[in-house]
Amino acid sequence: MTMNTSKVFFLCSIIVLLISLILIVSIWRLKKHVSLMEMWKSFKVSSEAPPGLPVHMSSNLRTISYFDYNTLKKATGNFQPKNELGSGGFGPVYQGRLDDDRRIAVKQLCLGKSGQGETEFLSEVRMLSSIQHKNLVCLVGCCSAGSQRLLVYEFMENRSLDRFLFDNNEVFLNWKLRFKIILGIARGLQYLHEDSNVRIVHRDIKASNILLDERFQPKISDFGLARLFPEGEAYLSAQLAGTLGYTAPEYALKGELSEKADIYSFGVLILEIISSRTNTDLTLPHRMQYLPEYAWKLYDNSMIIELVDPRLKADGIEEADVLPVCQVALLCLQPSPSSRPSMSEVVSMLTSKAKQIPSPNKPAFMDRKIEINMDVILPFSLESMSESSSLSPPSDSLLNTQELCGQISIVKSAD
């Protein structure tokens, strides 16, 4: 009897020990990899939805990984400068490698007094957790620890597009690759505007926000400024955010935001990809300083081949190759939002050789006869830059101011 009692006691002890071990392991794993919804409940900071984000979004999030801060600190070598990939509007981005040998990119957001970094963190996590497309960057996970807000993305081997266009990179992008990048960006925007379960305006389409994988497949990144649109709304009244020089006139001057603002930015970006120069360069002769104006003059005089990156011309590109794409870019830059094509129309024009592309009219900011009140434009834009960290990146504030002044001088120099 005593023997049986001892056996039962021993077996019970083993069972209790196994259950305890299972619970300990489960708790440890949950701390390393919890659902975003549980993480949301544990935030000690305000979880109020950023402007434009409906409350129901929080219940529709797909599960992503929640990383421990020390894990990301180890992966990036304690965020060493040598691992920095670049710096965005809200903080630096580092490359890292996890214990399972996965390569990642970690964006370390700066939480300013305005709390703008927190807004971007919540916005980007919610946005990228609800959408998925091959031409949108993939959010792997995030981390919220004390004052630290970190976003973890898939690692993009070739980093950002601006490196290849503006930094005298030794890697030459031929026309086939450039067209592939243009078309990929267009398809990503088409998904955001028309095909996803929610209507999204990115608000900051530019070369530095286009990442390239090892096959130069483009992916749109940086959704911290993105806005969701209610069904049936033509536009929203919104504070100016983004990067001046890519900004649509109706948004810059009147605060009227719609998906057509992204389409305008995309038009500017196409011209940059074709020419390998920035949209505003005040070091150039006056007639060449503002890229859309210069492109229009060349197009209007049947000299569009002069816009093309000299390396592309040396590689054998013909005007017939680039002309249709330039026409699409100029259509995206039309002054009236209603005159700009939708992104599905853009994709159709780029992919269908049989489809006739309409002739564009003079783009926005090009009419030198229009009188614009400098006292209205300049304080509005400069105030937005100084008081709101929405304009990205802060380090580019001088450049963005120059871009704006360049646009204004072009518009106002009427006589």
What tens digit of pLDDT does each residue of 324-351 get?
Answer: 999 999 999 999 999 999 999 999 999 9
pLDDT of residue 42: 40
What tens digit of pLDDT does each residue of 137-191 get?
Answer: 999 999 988 888 999 999 999 999 999 999 877 889 999 999 999 999 999 999 9
Question: Distance between CA 56 and CA 61 in Å, rounded?
Answer: 10
Helix (H) or strand (E) segment spanning residue 218 = strand 218-220
pLDDT of residue 195: 93
pLDDT of residue 291: 96
Enumerate residues 6+ apart whose C-beta is below 8 A from 119.
Answer: 50, 224
Q: What would the DSSP string read from start to end of 321-379?
A: HHHHHHHHHHHHT-SSGGGSPPHHHHHHHHH-SSSPPPPP-PPTT--TT----HHHHHH
Phi, psi torsion values for 412, nearest 5 degrees = -85, -20
Q: Residue 77 corresponds to which amino acid?
A: G
Alpha helices by DSSP H, listed for 145-231, are: 161-166, 175-190
**Which domains are present in the chain?**
39-154 (3.30.200.20), 161-412 (1.10.510.10)
pLDDT of residue 306: 96
Q: Which residues of the chain have pLDDT under 70?
A: 1-4, 27-63, 88-90, 111-117, 365-415
Question: Distance between CA 297 and CA 276 in Å, rounded?
Answer: 18
Kindly name the residue from 68, 100, 167, 204 that is annotated as catalytic.
204
pLDDT of residue 87: 76
Is 204 a catalytic site residue? yes
pLDDT of residue 241: 83
Is residue 341 within 8 Å of 263, Cβ to Cβ?
yes
Structure tokens at 223: 């959704």
